[in-house]
């Protein structure tokens, strides 16, 4: 995989003290966004947010110490972009889980900043390689904005002559002090499909995680919060462009079977994911667009 020259990126798109590019592990190009509200890091490979640290807080996102940082493999942690399918491919289990957007080098369209806001714009188009995996023409635009919150917006445009169906998600790994001392709020009275048990139910009160969790919720409001008693912090999440919120933690047995997760790392994260999946998969007509967006904020509690 050919990467853009870091020096040229800094000359064209960098800004002293606000926007800086560097070569990360295996040469992956990484951009840092900084302002008075905090900082974040984004890998151009995968359009993948690696880190977010609001001013006065510790890291909000978890990245596994065993994560691969190499072409053709996903980064484990941060905020992966899952597209054009979420989870296993619906008809071909040999294809990569969660699609191919997180496995490709994204184009850098631009950066900008004001006194309190820093913005990164990325895009991805279909190619001969993507057509072999998913035979449709498309354009993705990913806008990452750092201000009082960390905001992500993924706009999908169907540039084909026929419609296509897609599923998608932002897949944030929220870093927590101890899974046993954390709660997910905003799900009370929400129906959910439990992918572990194969059953459906309705959530009562906050979600307490004491085992493997893989659920698709449909909350009344498009907001949730991860309250972390050990770190004395709450991570607030709002989203639009979907009715579904996936909550995932692999727990001990599954975690130990995942090669790019440490055996005990399940204790340090929970994934709360705005997703269009199953009944909220998107049918996009030629020339149409759809935007999935997410905003993250951290508060001391």
User: Which of 37, 48, 171, 265 is the catalytic position?
Assistant: 171
Asked whether the bond before 84 is cis by omega within 30 degrees of 0, the reply is yes
Side-chain-side CA neighbours of residue 115 (13 Å): 0
Q: Are 27 and 133 in contact (CB under 8 A)?
A: no
Q: Give catalytic status of residue 171 as yes or no.
A: yes
Q: Are 274 and 292 in contact (CB under 8 A)?
A: yes
DSSP 204-255: -SSEE-SS-EEEEE--SSSEEEEEETTTTEEEEEEEES-SEEEEEE-HHHHH
Pairing status of strand 213-217 against strand 244-249: antiparallel
User: Which of 273, 283, 285, 290 is the catalytic position?
Assistant: 273
**What is the helix (H) or strand (E) element at residue 194, kind and residue range?**
strand 191-194
User: Which among 49, 87, 69 has a CA at the least distance from the CA of 193?
Assistant: 87
Q: How far apart are CA 76 and CA 212, in angstroms?
A: 18
Q: Give catalytic status of residue 273 as yes or no.
A: yes
Q: How far apart are CA 173 and CA 191, in angstroms?
A: 23
Residues identified as active-site:
171, 273
């Amino acid at each position: 995989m050919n990467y853009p020259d870091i020096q040229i990126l800094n000359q064209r798109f960098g800004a002293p003290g606000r926007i800086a590019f560097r070569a990360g592990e295996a040469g992956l190009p990484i951009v840092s966004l900084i302002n008075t509200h905090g900082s974040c890091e984004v890998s151009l490979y995968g359009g993948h947010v690696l880190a977010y640290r609001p001013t006065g807080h510790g890291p909000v996102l978890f990245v596994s110490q065993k994560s691969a940082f190499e072409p053709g493999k996903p980064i484990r942690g941060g905020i992966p972009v899952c597209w054009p399918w979420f989870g296993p491919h619906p008809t071909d289990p040999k294809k990569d889980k969660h699609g191919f957007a997180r496995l490709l080098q994204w184009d850098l369209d631009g950066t900008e900043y004001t006194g309190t806001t820093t913005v990164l714009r990325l895009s991805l188009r279909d190619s001969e390689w993507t057509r072999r995996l998913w035979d449709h023409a498309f354009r993705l635009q990913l806008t990452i904005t750092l201000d009082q919150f960390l905001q992500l917006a993924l706009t999908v445009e169907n540039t084909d002559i026929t419609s296509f169906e897609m599923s998608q998600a932002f897949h944030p790994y929220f870093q927590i002090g101890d899974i046993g001392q954390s709660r997910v709020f905003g799900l009370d009275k929400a129906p959910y499909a439990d992918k572990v048990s194969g059953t459906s139910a309705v959530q009562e009160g906050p979600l307490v995680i004491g085992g493997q969790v893989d659920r698709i919720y449909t909350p009344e409001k498009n907001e949730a919060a991860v309250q972390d008693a050990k770190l004395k912090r709450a991570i607030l999440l709002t989203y639009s462009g979907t009715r579904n919120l996936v909550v995932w933690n692999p727990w001990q047995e599954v975690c130990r079977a995942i090669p790019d997760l440490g055996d005990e790392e399940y204790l340090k994260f929970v994934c709360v994911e705005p997703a269009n999946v199953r009944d909220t998969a998107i049918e996009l007509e030629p020339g149409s667009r759809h935007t999935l967006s997410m905003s993250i904020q951290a508060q001391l509690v």
